[in-house]
Amino acid sequence: MERDKAIIITGAAGFIGSILVGCLNHLGYYNIIIVDDFSRADKLSNWADKKFAHKVERTELFTWLKNTDPKVEIVFHLGARTDTTEFDYSIHEELNVRYSQQIWTYCTVKHIPLIYASSAATYGGGEMGYKDDHALCYKLSPLNPYGVSKNEFDKWALQQEQKPPYWYGLKFFNVYGPNEYHKGRMASVIFHSFKQIQDNGFVKLFKSHRPEIEDGQQLRDFIYVKDVVNVCVWLMENLPQSGLYNLGTGKARSFADLVKATFAALDKTADIRYIDMPEDIRDKYQYFTEADMSKLIEAGYNTPFHSLEEGVSDYVRHYLSPNYG
C-alpha cells in the first residue's frame, strides 16, 4: 500500500475507530484523516495521542473533501449511531443510512476501496441463522431500529450498479475492549462487570426468561477489538472479493463465562447474582448469536482470534485495572 496516500477513518474518536487509528500508527501509517464529532470531551483520550494528518468534523466531511480533494487510498467508515435502545428510526436513518450512502457515492466516484461497519444486529433473533449470505439480507427482521438501519444500508449497497472498486460490509458481533469507556449503557458487559466488581464485589446478570435456558447461559459471539482491527487492516492490504463479511470469533460463549473470566483476570472468586431483565427489552433480546466465519476464512484470513479468556484478561489487566482500578 502507498504510505503517501491518505486513509479516511470515520468514527475515529469512537471505540473501534480509535483502536484502528492506533493500530495503523503502529504499522507506520500517519497520513490519516480522522472524522467524528470531536465535541465530546469523554472521547478525547481516544484520539488525542494518535498521529494523523487532518481532523475533520463529521458534518463538514463532504465539504472538506470537495475543497481539498485529497488522494485517498481507502475509507474506513466506522462512524454510526450504535444505540440499540434509541427507537427513533429517523436518527438511525440519517446517520447510518443516508450518511453511509454519501460515503459510498464518494468512494465510487473516486474509485476508492471502502470498508464499512455493518452489524450482527441485522440478524434479529437469529431465526435465519448467522451466515453472511447476500440473499439472506432480504429475509432478515432486525429487532430494533439500529439493526434495521444497518440492514437497510446493506441491502442498498447490494443493489447498486455503481460500486467502489472493492467494498466490505463488516457485520460486527459483540465487540469489547479498550476505548469503549464513553459508550455508557452500550459499553460491553466486561466493562460493566469490571465496574460492578470494583464497586460491589459482585456482578448482576439478567435472568433467562426462557425456561429451556438457564440463567447466565444466554450466548453471544464476543470478539476482542484488537481482532476486529486486525481483520480491517488485512482487508485493506489484501483486497479479497467484495461483499458482506461476518466478524466474530465463530464461537458463542455464555455471559456467565464472560463474567467468570473478568473475575479471574482480577484474581477474584466469581460472585454472580441474577436479576429480572427489564420488560422494555425482554421481547427484543437475543439469546444466541454466533458468526459463521467461513467466508472470511475462505477469503484467506488465517490469524487466530483471542479466546474469550485471553481477550478479557488482556483488557482487564492492561487497560481497565490500570485506569479504573
Active centre residues (catalytic)? 146, 183
Close Cβ partners of 193 (under 8 Å, ≥ 6 residues apart): 203, 258, 259, 262
CA distances from 313 to 120, 249, 260 (A): 24, 16, 11
- Percent of residues in the chain assigned helix, strand, coil, to nearest 5: 45, 15, 40
**Burial (CB count <10 Å: 0-12, 13-18, 19+), residue 69:** exposed
CA distances from 147 to 78, 193, 300 (A): 15, 25, 28
CB 215 within 8 A of CB 205: yes
CB 176 within 8 A of CB 259: no
